[in-house]
Chains A and B, each alone.
Chain A
Amino acid sequence: MEWPILPSFLSKYVPRNEEYTPNKHGLFESDTLRGFLVDSSDDKSIQNPLSLFQVVPDKYPYETESEDRIESLDPPKNVFLSSILSVDRKIIRIDPRNLYPNMSCCDVFRKYLKDNDICNLCFEQDSQILLLFHKYLLNINYETEFEKFRDCLVELCKQYNDTIEKGDQEYHLKVHSDFERKRLFIGYKCRYSNLYEYFFPVIHAGRVVAVLMQGQRIPPQTSQDEIFPYYRNYSDSLKKSIEAISKSKYNQETMSEERENAIFRRISVLERRIEQEVLGFARMLVSNKFNEIQYAFRKELKNNTNSEGKIALEEYSAILDRALERICLIFNPNGFIRIYTAESSIETINKTNTRFYLIGTSEVLKKQLVPKEIKFLGITQEELDLRDGMDLARFAHPSIQLNKGDIFRIEPLQVGGIRNLIWKNYNEESFIHECQFKLYGESLCSMYHMFLEPYHVLKSIEMQERLEVSMRVSVHEAANIIPTIHTTLSKEYDINNSTYNRIREGATVSDIRSRERILYDSIQRLLLLDSLYRKSTLIFKNSLPVYDWTDLHRAVYSIETLFSESALKNKRQRIIVDMSTYLNKCDFWTDISAFNHILFNLIDNAVKYSLRGSKIYVTVDIPKDQEKYLVSSPDKIDTLIISVINYGFKISSSDRDKMFNLYYRSEQSKSEEGRGIGLFLVDKLCSALSYTIENANSVLVSKIHLPAKHYYIESKPEFKTNEKLPDDIKRLLSDSVSPEILERVVNVQQAVKWKIGTNEISSLLPQGTYENKFVLTLKAPQGQQLLRYINK
């Protein structure tokens, strides 16, 4: 069955060995149409025989298989009309026959023609309905371009009238139209009978599918002698039938307003029946095809599922693409369907920045041209659901250009509130066959659940596995810290005799300070544990920023303190905070929990990926043009810039593009413990607070590992005589480095020991030193002050 359902005629005929389709084989049995004609002819406001004409394929033998209920017209002799018909089509006519007979004179006239082997002149007149099937009119939508349709028809009638012999103007066709009701009909006088006839188009989907003819009305002031004036002289039976016409038929309007309205009403009824029938077929087709597609989709999924019951996301995506392509090929060949989805459990943490990822598109061959990711900026998730089309697209990045027929909206799934973004395009036919495309659209919407179900199950399994890994790493990290806290506290606070003695003897100030230090140290480690726990669970939480005034100095230094000891002891690194005296005295307006996480992750990241033995800088600044406000009017400062600068390996531009993605880990970073969550969280939290986070391009500081060089030479100044050391390493060690750069990069504290051997220096030294910088820009929410002085 073809889509959309668009029959060009009504009478049903299905040749043997052909599968029925309304577009090729019509809609109704001829008796159904005949019933309609009888009923309509008998309408008390019509009371006139009506007949129905259709243009059908010439090869369909209706007339032989319908026991005279349908008759085919002979091809018209008029060249203008025959050119419209073309050789492979013919006109068929259905009328009520004896159920509502014609005026008998017309039937007698036809019999006379037949008996005398004269061609059917009535058919020649009836063939004028072909004007409504002219190719010019085929391209004009009757419903939406009625005026144009009517003007074109008038012009066609004029051209046709010109083909009728001169002097025959009284037989010309005339178009009657009603713009308000968008209705028209054509009237003419039969050149043989001098009776009036009218034909009305029956419309479906803006096109003429049949023509209803109201026949044989005697024009006013017409005498008996003027009816069949020529042929009545040759046929007594014709003459008698004319004389038998009831006097009541004379001197009446050929088309009263009442009859015209009644015929229009009847045509409307027929058109509604056609529409219902077409929608019935459309519903069946949509249902059948979607069932087939659904079955094929599930079968493909099953065939590609591995022994563990899983399927690769790429494979799932390819199967979805094929299903969507199939749908478009059947229902919407020039359109497309694109399905994006957000990972709700992760994305909901951020209310104003929502990313959607492409998981399926019907454009299989052009998939690379479809945006892989659409990010909405400056719109809350609740607002996302309320907007669509351009109203929604203007929040999208990359900027989305919508075209006519594009549908762009969020479709939340019922369970779990998972949001999906649907971007589809309907071709132009959808506007003509709106009801049918509505059925298609509704069925498509009901398929999204089925399509997305495996995706969300797969993502859920993946999340579960990653969560397990996250928990494992967290447990491992925690396992590193817990023993130290336990040992420290149990040693210091183990109640034994010496403790009692100390209590009895009284503690010195130095004892108390020493204990305070131990307590403080333990508290810091407990905080670190708490942060590790939060880091592994935060991505699954749904939270809104809670702002308050916070001491800037404490906020920055507390995170620095958290890392300073571990950075030094683990990697011989030193963290240096650089903040002006004035900023040290300021409160800033922030969500301290979110800020702590941001700075925690940035410094954690810096410690992990900095060179062993290097320095890490945390600078807190304001824009140059606002420095003048620092002393007296901090309320006028609207921006705070926190940079975390470290010295490590080069970050490639492709890593830079992906570093804020969840679970992304560059090849270089894989040697460090981590889950690819930290920077993702930083990005999410920054968006939630309307902060920005940027990673500057890596800057080459030295082609060698500066701290390794410094520490190696310091412990082995006689390296030039070391026979095991390769010559190229010796050369690199001999190269001079400016003291300023060394001072800037290397943590040269005396207390820091790092014993480097031959293997280690040979492997480390050729690795260059690059400066990497994350810049966090803080802004206060609109109308809110960012900084204020506090009394410390």
Chain B
Amino acid sequence: MNMSHRKKILLVEDNGIVAENLENNFLEYDIETAYSVNSALDRWEEDGPFDCIIIDLQISPDGLTPNENGQYTPLFGMAVINKLGAKFSKEEIGEFRKKIIIYSGFIKELKDHRWDNQEIWNIRGLCLFEKNALSIDKITKYVNNLLK
């Protein structure tokens, strides 16, 4: 049983430098990092649940079947969201999705429904941040508000 009162964040990001920068902004939280689909699922199993998930969508597809790999190309992070989401009931899923922050260079494409399968590319209830020079600060403020 986890006795810590500190809030927990799962950071799914395969770019170590970006991950380190984010970690340095969240020193008051417990952060676990993952770089692939499998490592994210493992962190959830071993260290979860988390109060917040910050996820980059272009991560390593390791852990996906070839079919899933084709479906989720190029944004494999959506597979993590969907696979973790599958662990929740219909009633719980809304709350779970509120904890998720997508941090990606493909936000515009997601909003424009560039990919057809809306079951896979469902972004309802998720918080979306475009990756740019100011987004780390924006995410920091958002997460601090969320976990207050």
Residues of A within 8 A of B (CB): 472, 475-476, 479-488, 565-566, 568-571, 612, 670-671, 673, 755-760, 763-764
**List of A residues within 8 angstroms of B18 by Cβ:** 480, 483-484
Are B16 and A487 in contact, CB atoms less than 8 angstroms apart? no
B134 at the interface (CB under 8 A from A): yes
Partner of B17, one of A481, A486, A612, A763: A481
**Min distance, Cβ B30 to any Cβ of chain A, angstroms:** 13
Residue among A485, A568, A570 having the largest count of chain B Cβ atoms under 10 Å = A570
**List of A residues within 8 angstroms of B17 by Cβ:** 480-481, 484, 565-566, 569-570
**Min distance, Cβ A758 to any Cβ of chain B, angstroms:** 6
Given known pairs A486-B134, A487-B137, the reply for A479 and B42 (CB within 8 Å) is: no
Bound state CA distance, A323 and B124, in angstroms?
A: 54
B39 at the interface (CB under 8 A from A): yes
B105, closest chain A residue (CB)? A476
Given known pairs A479-B105, A759-B38, A760-B39, the reply for A671 and B61 (CB within 8 Å) is: yes
**List of B residues within 8 angstroms of A759 by Cβ:** 38-39, 41-42, 45, 63
Bound state CA distance, A422 and B21, in angstroms?
A: 57
8 closest Cβ contacts across the A-B interface?
A: A757-B42, A569-B16, A479-B131, A476-B105, A486-B133, A570-B16, A760-B38, A759-B38
Are A483 and B136 in contact, CB atoms less than 8 angstroms apart? yes
B20 at the interface (CB under 8 A from A): yes
Bound state CA distance, A114 and B46, in angstroms?
A: 124
Are B21 and A480 in contact, CB atoms less than 8 angstroms apart? no
A-facing mask of B29-60, CB < 8 A → 1, else 0?
Answer: 00010011011011101100000000000101
**List of B residues within 8 angstroms of A671 by Cβ:** 60-62, 69
Q: List 29 A-B contacts (CB under 8 A).
A: A479-B131, A480-B17, A480-B18, A481-B17, A483-B131, A484-B18, A484-B21, A485-B133, A486-B136, A487-B21, A487-B136, A488-B21, A566-B15, A568-B16, A569-B15, A570-B15, A570-B17, A571-B35, A755-B42, A756-B39, A757-B41, A757-B45, A758-B45, A759-B38, A759-B41, A760-B39, A760-B62, A763-B62, A764-B62
Residues of B within 8 A of A (CB): 14-21, 25, 32, 35-36, 38-39, 41-43, 45-46, 58, 60-63, 69, 73, 105-106, 131-137
**Min distance, Cβ B128 to any Cβ of chain A, angstroms:** 14
Given known pairs A475-B105, A570-B15, the reply for A760 and B133 (CB within 8 Å) is: no
Bound state CA distance, A670 and B16, in angstroms?
A: 20
Are A480 and B15 in contact, CB atoms less than 8 angstroms apart? yes
**List of B residues within 8 angstroms of A764 by Cβ:** 62
Interface SS majority for chain A: helix
Bound state CA distance, A342 and B135, in angstroms?
A: 44
Partner of B131, one of A480, A485, A488, A673: A480
Partner of B133, one of A472, A482, A755: A482
**List of A residues within 8 angstroms of B136 by Cβ:** 483-484, 486-487
**List of A residues within 8 angstroms of B16 by Cβ:** 566, 568-571
**Min distance, Cβ A715 to any Cβ of chain B, angstroms:** 11
**List of B residues within 8 angstroms of A479 by Cβ:** 105, 131-132
A570, closest chain B residue (CB)? B16
A567, closest chain B residue (CB)? B16
Residue among B32, B42, B60 having the largest count of chain A Cβ atoms under 10 Å = B42
Given known pairs A568-B16, A763-B62, the reply for A483 and B38 (CB within 8 Å) is: no
**List of A residues within 8 angstroms of B69 by Cβ:** 671
Are B43 and A757 in contact, CB atoms less than 8 angstroms apart? yes
**Min distance, Cβ A491 to any Cβ of chain B, angstroms:** 9
**List of B residues within 8 angstroms of A483 by Cβ:** 18, 21, 131-136
Bound state CA distance, A438 and B122, in angstroms?
A: 66
Are B14 and A757 in contact, CB atoms less than 8 angstroms apart? no
Bound state CA distance, A481 and B18, in angstroms?
A: 7
**List of A residues within 8 angstroms of B60 by Cβ:** 671
Residue among B106, B132, B133, B137 having the largest count of chain A Cβ atoms under 10 Å = B133
**Min distance, Cβ B86 to any Cβ of chain A, angstroms:** 15
Are A570 and B14 in contact, CB atoms less than 8 angstroms apart? yes
Known pairs A483-B133, A486-B136, A760-B36; list 14 more (Cβ under 8 Å). A479-B131, A479-B132, A480-B18, A484-B136, A568-B16, A569-B19, A570-B14, A755-B39, A755-B43, A756-B42, A757-B46, A758-B45, A759-B45, A763-B63
A762, closest chain B residue (CB)? B38
Bound state CA distance, A670 and B62, in angstroms?
A: 12
Bound state CA distance, A391 and B19, in angstroms?
A: 59
Bound state CA distance, A472 and B114, in angstroms?
A: 14
B62, closest chain A residue (CB)? A763
Bound state CA distance, A245 and B132, in angstroms?
A: 116
**Min distance, Cβ A39 to any Cβ of chain B, angstroms:** 82
Bound state CA distance, A488 and B63, in angstroms?
A: 34
